[in-house]
Chains A and B, each alone.
Chain A
Amino acid sequence: DAGVIQSPRHEVTEMGQEVTLRCKPISGHDYLFWYRQTMMRGLELLIYFNNNVPIDDSGMPEDRFSAKMPNASFSTLKIQPSEPRDSAVYFCASRPGHNYEQYFGPGTRLTVT
């Protein structure tokens, strides 16, 4: 298996622009998680899905952030409009239903100028 796939690996954008991050979980995994990592706040869970349904989005910082999972093999995290404080590494992770180990993607480094 190729593991969790994220794209792009790097994104540089200007403040006010829309940013879309993409994730393909490991085939057969029922759960998908979006995290944000910064020096100041460490690893924060933004939202997670079970069988494509959002279960807990309490970590989504504000209405500028939205996430979707239209099918079992694809999820997006969108920021509109982006701000410099959104600069971070965004990770996607997935896990199967019978196991609690999460498998992480390589992350997307987002820079908002």
Chain B
Amino acid sequence: AQTVTQSQPEMSVQEAETVTLSCTYDTSENNYYLFWYKQPPSRQMILVIRQEAYKQQNATENRFSVNFQKAAKSFSLKISDSQLGDTAMYFCALYSSNTGKLIFGQGTTLQVKP
């Protein structure tokens, strides 16, 4: 069975600092995709970044980057120069090509403090 684990229920960071959110996963598939979604208080789910498992290069989107360690099945999200608008719950998700489903972690609530 595929699983996604986020071991940090809550985190906080000072504005302009850097923070890293952890995610580990388990899958027996070779072809899969990983995502980070952001859910601010408005509850809208927003895609932050994606990573194809076959790509060795870590994905980057502006202030957001990932550290993808395929052998360790780890997929952490780094937010640089944190902004107040980054305050949200962050979900790590694994796409299973076998089932066509997205499997979500439990989420990490991030608070950016002024």
Query: Would you give the shortest CB distance from A39 to chain B, in whole angstroms?
Result: 10
Contact of B101 among A45, A103, A109 (CB under 8 A): A45
Interface string of A4-28 (1 = CB under 8 A from B): 0000000000000000000000000
Chain B residues whose C-beta falls within 8 Å of the C-beta of A103 in the assembled complex: 47
Contact of B107 among A31, A42, A106, A109 (CB under 8 A): A42
> Counting CB contacts under 8 A, is B76 at the interface?
no
- CB interface residues, B 23-42, toward A, < 8 Å: 33, 35, 37, 42
Interface size class of A (residues with CB under 8 A): 20 to 34
> Counting CB contacts under 8 A, is B11 at the interface?
no
> Counting CB contacts under 8 A, is A62 at the interface?
no
Chain A residues whose C-beta falls within 8 Å of the C-beta of B95 in the assembled complex: 100
Residue of B whose beta carbon sits closest to that of A93:
B45
Chain A residues whose C-beta falls within 8 Å of the C-beta of B42 in the assembled complex: 106
Chain B residues whose C-beta falls within 8 Å of the C-beta of A91 in the assembled complex: 45
* Bound CA–CA A42/B44 (angstroms): 15
Query: Would you give the shortest CB distance from A76 to chain B, in whole angstroms?
Result: 20
Query: Would you give the shortest CB distance from B7 to chain A, in whole angstroms?
Result: 14
Q: Point out residues on B near A: beta carbons under 8 Å.
A: 33, 35, 37, 42-47, 50, 91, 95, 99-102, 104, 106-107
Q: Point out residues on A near B: beta carbons under 8 Å.
A: 31, 33, 42-43, 45, 48, 50, 55-56, 89, 91, 93, 100-104, 106-107, 109
Q: A31-B100, A56-B99 are in contact. List 5 more A-B contacts (CB 8 A).
A: A33-B102, A45-B101, A48-B100, A100-B50, A106-B42
